[in-house]
Structure 1
Amino acid sequence: MRRQAALHRLLCLEENFVDLMTSGIHGYSRPLRHCLLSGSEHQALFQNIEKVCAKMRLLHS
């Protein structure tokens, strides 16, 4: 029972993390892509955040 509760808690934390990453993408990564940052600066800050988020969403669907 303890193990199952720990796994459930971990899944909930991961889902919350994906939600926060998605908010970060919409609130920071995409808006900064074309206005304040050069392409190399954006790449250095955000790298593969959208790919990572998409893969994590697939794991939880």
Structure 2
Amino acid sequence: MFKKSIRYPLIYFIVSIIYQLVIHQEVRWIENLFICSAMFMIYMLYYWAEIPYEWKKRSDES
């Protein structure tokens, strides 16, 4: 779950740094880190929500 949710934010972070260096010659570190961490949290929540609940299966077996 962690590997899946870190991939896209890390790619965004690297691409945005390269883009800002080439186009603007200065990097907005705080903005990039905030967006990257927000993307990570959203992806982590998304992958966590996909995991099915096991409590229903356990109560049916009893």
TM range (shorter): 0.3 to 0.5
Q: Rg larger in 1 or in 2?
A: 2
Which TM-score applies when normalising by structure 1?
Answer: 0.45
Which TM-score applies when normalising by structure 2?
Answer: 0.45
